[in-house]
Amino acid sequence: MLSRKGIIPEEYVLTRLAEDPAEPRYRARERRARFVSKNGNCNVAHKNIREQGRFLQDVFTTLVDLKWPHTLLIFTMSFLCSWLLFAMVWWLIAFAHGDLAPGEGTAVPCVTSIHSFSSAFLFSIEVQVTIGFGGRMVTEECPLAILILIVQNIVGLMINAIMLGCIFMKTAQAHRRAETLIFSKHAVIAVRHGRLCFMLRVGDLRKSMIISATIRMQVVRKTTSPEGEVVPLHQVDIPMENGVGGNSIFLVAPLIIYHVIDANSPLYDLAPSDLHHHQDLEIIVILEGVVETTGITTQARTSYLADEILWGQRFVPIVAEEDGRYSVDYSKFGNTIKVPTPLCTARQLDEDRSLLDALTLTSARGPLRKRSVAVAKTKPKFSISPNSLS
């Protein structure tokens, strides 16, 4: 919020999506609508809902989902309305019993010291919030007054339980914990273990862990069935790989999660040129786990469009060992470097493995040639003959 007002520069504010401050910013061109935004919100608008009464069948969830101004308004009005309602009941009891008539102070009233609606309202507040100033009390003269006293106490307890529970659930919602679960701004595609892989980085800013953390990924694109049916949001699950194996991760330090692009992958025919004009591709990443401190299940989401996937790049290392422990440099969380990568699809790479062999040979010779040039520049007066090396 401070960065939006211009008080703190944006490069000093760590957001949900870690990004490089030195990266040049260009004007974003018009792109397709995202299904899931970068901060995890679903970009879906529900319209023309005719059965609005279904929301009232689950009042508690509806109250929790409301915005804070609406919740606080309902919280205040629920107490005020109940106080006013029972104040009217106490005033009617006093009026029916004749306690409001002047000059009749010898009879025992139903409620002592009630002479007007204001005094009845104050007594209603004292009963419901159990203040008990001692000036007003119910006598045994009217059994109806005793019954109303019991009913108001029960109603007050129900209102307290519902509204305080609603406030607690809003302050302890699961998506609050997801604000400190961050994803890299860009995803990358590079060679790992001899295969093209789709990679992203995920991290947790808090020291309290996410227990039983799992991560999964989906590809959302517009497809057309053989029968001609257009599916605007076709979702396909694709497996994710990590060093532990499976979808479970131990999120103590930032991890690079990758997906091997094989014959079963929907990215099998994705080429580098498709990333610049492939507007129907969106990859959604979902991280789920249990918050260690509260035991509440949380979920963090993000997505990557085609132009947010970098081909031929790899994430830089950010974990180093210092003073007997591991330290993480989050300033380089989203930084990448270029690496030799075939400019072809995974299908073409599987059909012609010589592309990978030629790439490996080129990358292996590259540093040697640069080093020899550097030696020649630094020591021009000396030369080494091939025979002297034998």
Q: For residues 191 and 124, state if they share a domain.
A: no
Same domain, 248 and 216: yes
Tokens 């210092």 belong to residue? 322
Residue 240 CA to residue 258 CA, distance in Å, equals 6
pLDDT beyond 90 at 337: yes
Same domain, yes or no, for 116 and 188? no
Would residue 19 count as lying in a domain?
no
Alpha helices (runs of H) in the chain, residue ranges in sequence order? 59-65, 68-97, 117-128, 143-171, 174-177, 274-277, 346-351, 354-378
What is the structure's pLDDT at 375?
36
Cα distance between residue 261 and residue 255, in whole Å: 19
Which residues sit opposite 298 in a β-bridge?
A: 289
- pLDDT (tens digit, 9 = 90+) per residue, 74-114? 999 999 999 999 999 999 999 988 888 766 555 788 888 88
Together in a domain, 215 and 356: yes
pLDDT recorded at residue 188: 94
233 and 333 inside one domain: yes
Q: Count Cβ atoms below 10 Å from residue 89 Cβ, excluding itself.
A: 17
Q: Is residue 137 part of a domain?
A: yes
Average pLDDT score, the chain: 79
Band of residue 30 on the pLDDT scale cut at 50, 70, 90: low
* Range name among 178-187, 211-220, 285-294, 372-381 with the lowest pLDDT average: 372-381
What percent of the chain stands above pLDDT 90? 26
pLDDT at 104: 56
Burial of 223 (0-12, 13-18, 19+ CB in 10 A): middle
What are the tens digits of pLDDT across the range 123-143? 999 999 888 777 888 888 899
Q: Is the pLDDT of residue 256 over 80?
A: yes
Residue that is last in its domain, among 151, 172, 193? 172
- Kindly report which listed range (70-84, 233-247, 328-342, 370-384) carries the lowest average pLDDT score: 370-384
Name which residue leads in pLDDT, 172 or 102: 172
Per 3-state DSSP, the chain is made up of helix, strand and coil in percentages (nearest 5) of 35, 25, 40
